Amino acid sequence: MSLPHALLTALVEHPCSGSELAERFDKSIGYFWHATHQQIYRELARLEEALWIEALPAETGRGRKRQFRLLPAGRKELRRWIAEQQDPTPLRDELMVRLRAEAAVGPTGLEKEIARLQAMHQDKLAVYRRIAQRDFIGKEPSRERRLQHLVLKAGILQEELSLAIAKEALEILGAPAPSTRGAP
């Protein structure tokens, strides 16, 4: 996935300014694709150069934000990208490498880091569950809403898996090491 396609996805939903887009990005797509506000603004300029988006005329007055909207060429690119074949992204999880290293070199105090990560995953899971309650429970299950809910459910499952792994890792790391006394 690329940042341009994430931004086109956000803009296809409705036009907004760069700062509104960055804020929306932080609250939705940003959970699955991280980008800094600087990267977002830089990419908006590129998308405008490619004629995939355009800046709407700014309202008069000082400090008015430029609104961006998707152009037909941007919609065409987004449709092309959606239909594109793509292999699954290889897993890159530093914690898994740290656990393997811990297994090889012995106790390192990794439990503290895992407990910290566990708390972060619990917080994010709570956020996802609040979003699910607010945006999906008891709402009309349109196709659009069902797809958005599916993305959120994927995030929930990912956080639940991370919590299960952290729990088991802490159990293993807290277990006494087998005795090597009397071993040949």
Q: Report how many domains make up the chain.
A: 2
- 89: helix, strand or coil: coil
Q: Which domain holds residue 51?
A: 3-82
In a domain, 88, yes or no: no
CATH number assigned to the domain comprising residue 28: 1.10.10.10
The one-letter amino acid at 5: H
- 66: helix, strand or coil: coil
Is 100 found in the same domain as 63?
no
Q: How far apart are CA 152 and CA 133, in angstroms?
A: 11
In a domain, 87, yes or no: no
Q: How far apart are CA 81 and CA 75, in angstroms?
A: 10
In a domain, 184, yes or no: no
- Could you report the per-residue pLDDT of 132-177, keeping only the tens digit for each? 999 999 988 899 999 999 999 999 999 999 999 999 999 999 866 5
Beta bridge partners of 17: 67
Task: Of 80, 166, 181, give the one whose Cα is nearest residue 123.
Answer: 166
The one-letter amino acid at 181: R
The first and second tokens of residue 180, run together, are 């090597």
The one-letter amino acid at 178: P
φ, ψ for residue 15, nearest 5 deg:
-60, 150
**Could you tell me the pTM of the whole model?**
0.82
Q: Where are the alpha helices (DSSP H) in the chain?
A: 3-13, 18-27, 37-49, 72-83, 94-105, 110-135, 143-174
Task: Of 52, 53, 50, give the one whose Cα is nearest residue 67.
Answer: 53
Say yes or no to pLDDT of 49 above 60: yes
- Residue 68: in which H helix or E strand, if any? strand 67-70
Rounded (10°) CA dihedral 165, 123, 3, 16? 160
Q: What is the mean pLDDT of residues 94-114?
A: 93
Is 10 found in the same domain as 75?
yes
* pLDDT value of position 61: 63
Say yes or no to pLDDT of 179 above 80: no
Is 166 found in the same domain as 110?
yes
Q: How far apart are CA 147 and CA 140, in angstroms?
A: 13
1 or 71, which is more confident?
71
* pLDDT value of position 1: 58
